[in-house]
Amino acid sequence: LFVYLVYGVGLSVAVARVVPRRRLAALVAAAITLTATISLATSLVRIAAGDTLWFQRIDHLTPNHKTLAVCLAGWLPLSWTLTRHRVLRLGITGLAVAAIGISLSKTALITTALSAALFLPRDRPLAWRPRLLLPAAALAFALAWYAPALVRSRTMLDAARSRHSLNVRAWRMFVEHPIVGTGSGTSTTYEMVTFPHYRINGVDAHGAIQKVAAENGLLGLLGLLLFVGGAGRSLVVQWRRDVAAHPDTAPLALTSYGALGSFAALHCNLLLSTELYSPTHWVPLATAWGLAHAGGARHEPDPAEARCAS
């Protein structure tokens, strides 16, 4: 986690101080297009092989091709405000949504729905969005965990029992060592040696929050929450500054709002994924975080351009 944090900080500095906004927009568009193409092609191969519900390793890229769909879902809010050309924005969004849908990743689908709800409908008061989204997100996560128990599918039921086993294991590890945890990287060892609750899953955890709580305890959770809170606050502050500096531009059209939306989406999915330990989380996160320190006046488009884009 420390290595990825350093990696993310370095990338955010490059976004904030080195890369011009227009070039950054082009790089983000290229990254989303390439990621969506790879994800889409890999999913089609799995469907053709009859393994729709499973995942495939992509050497030198990811151990699970569905993480690409999760990454795409986190990119969407930022790409909607960073990509100013309407046709290009629609094309990128369509390709990304197709890749997310065909991946059948519940985490990616939930994150996509959350990303869309941050922007739609556009006439909804901003103050109401958190009040509506938080209960909806809680329900979505609960269904993602345990809805398969209501479906007559042995494969999906087995997966649900496995996920429940991982959550129970993480809780037991946390209870045994609540302050410092059992140690980084000990989840699979703990499972094989002392915890045959359902079966040997062979993975760290069902979510990054569970993994941090089990392996690093309250100290680890405190550090993570301090980082997330600090980074989130900087994004909110930058967005409010941009709203005041650009009164003729709709608040939802500001790039800083897209960065804030991507930040929120990326962190909401950590209850369902361990993306905190993957570049597919840190690349969009560092890009969004870097924009919070880039200075809105230097980068934000003029109101006429923003109106044309919307």
Radius of gyration over every alpha carbon of the chain, rounded to an integer in angstroms: 20
296: pLDDT strictly greater than 50:
no
For residue 222, pLDDT beyond 90? yes
Q: How confident is the model at residue 309 (pLDDT cuts 50, 70, 90)?
A: very low
Which pLDDT does position 52 carry in this prediction? 61
Structure-token pair, residue 209: 């929050």
Cα–Cα distance measured from residue 11 to residue 282, given in angstroms and rounded to the nearest whole number:
9
Nearest one of 122, 129, 91 to 264, comparing CA atoms = 129
For residue 310, name the pLDDT band (cuts at 50, 70, 90): very low
pLDDT averaged over every residue in the chain: 78
Q: Phi first, then psi: what are they for 186, rounded to 5°? A: -95, 0
pLDDT at 247 over 80: yes
pLDDT tens for residues 135-166? 776 776 676 666 666 666 676 677 777 777 88
Residue 131 CB-half CA count within 13 A? 5
Q: What pLDDT is stored for residue 218 in this prediction?
A: 93
The total number of structural domains that make up the chain: 1
**Which has more confidence, 298 or 37?**
37
The CA-CA-CA angle for residues 70, 72, 74, to 5°, reads: 75
- Of 93 and 138, which is predicted with more confidence? 93
- Tokens representing 66 are 């569905």
| DSSP label of 272 | T
Q: What is the residue whose two structure tokens read 């009859």?
A: 50
Mean per-residue pLDDT for 245-249? 87
| Structural tokens at position 197 | 């609750």
Would you state the pLDDT for residue 80? 87
Q: What is the pLDDT of residues 25-59, one digit of tens each?
A: 888 889 899 989 988 888 888 788 776 656 677 77
Which range among 82-91, 132-141, 256-265 has the greatest average pLDDT? 256-265
For residues 266-287, give the mean pLDDT.
Answer: 80
Q: How would residue 295 be classed by pLDDT, with cut points 50, 70 and 90?
A: low
* 132 burial type by CB count under 10 A (0-12 exposed, 13-18 middle, 19+ buried): exposed
CB atoms within 10 A of CB 153: 12
Mean pLDDT confidence for 269-277: 75
What share of the chain in percent tops pLDDT 70? 77
Q: What is the pLDDT of residue 98?
A: 92
State CA 143 to chain mean position distance.
18
Domain that holds residue 282: 2-309
Q: What pTM did the predictor assign?
A: 0.79
**pLDDT at 203 (0 to 100):** 65
Does residue 305 carry a pLDDT above 70? no
Q: Number of C-alpha atoms within 13 angstroms, CB side, residue 112?
A: 22
181 vs 134: CA distance, rounded Å: 28
Percent of residues in the chain assigned helix, strand, coil, to nearest 5: 75, 0, 25
Q: If pLDDT is split at 50, 70 and 90, which confidence band does 204 have?
A: low
Question: Given a cut of 70, is residue 257 above it in pLDDT?
Answer: yes
